[in-house]
Amino acid sequence: MLKNITFEKNLSHEKTVEVSSLSLAFLGDGVWSLLVRNFFCERTSFKNNLLHTLTTKFVKASYQALALDKIQNILTEQEVDVARRARNAKLNTVSKNASLQDYKKATSFEAILGYDYLKHDFERIETIFEFLKCDMMNVLEERNRK
């Protein structure tokens, strides 16, 4: 899916590491949001309000912090380094709906996705998404039982 929406050539690890952690997180936030929205749109015919409600559960900092914990064991050495740098970045804003710890972990999660996106490592992004997709499937199944 993401292969069709890139604009520049893929960056090497060295070039990608030169991008600020918060910029990687900014980009990763968009990547994650697109993946989650696409997931629900492909599998449901829900109205926009419900799509928004479902999507919000997974794009908020508290879930992204949990997601980072869940993928910890499958991260590459480079991704661990990106996450560490993002977690330690000086934040200019703090979420009003999340603890500082969750917000920093969410920023780390997003930075990993931004890093992989800039490297055009879409297979890696898909692997991470597949690892977390069961949470979305569970929410859908629960919603369908109602």
Tell me which residue of 89, 94, 103, 99 sits closest to 24, measured CA to CA: 89
The one catalytic residue among 29, 102, 116, 121: 29
- Cβ neighbours, 10 Å, residue 43: 12
- Can 135 be counted among the known catalytic residues? no
Residues 81 and 59: their CA atoms lie apart, in Å, by 22
Q: Quick one: which H or E segment has residue 46?
A: none
- The alpha carbon torsion through 10, 15, 19, 56 (nearest 10 deg) reads 30
Catalytic positions, written as ranges: 29
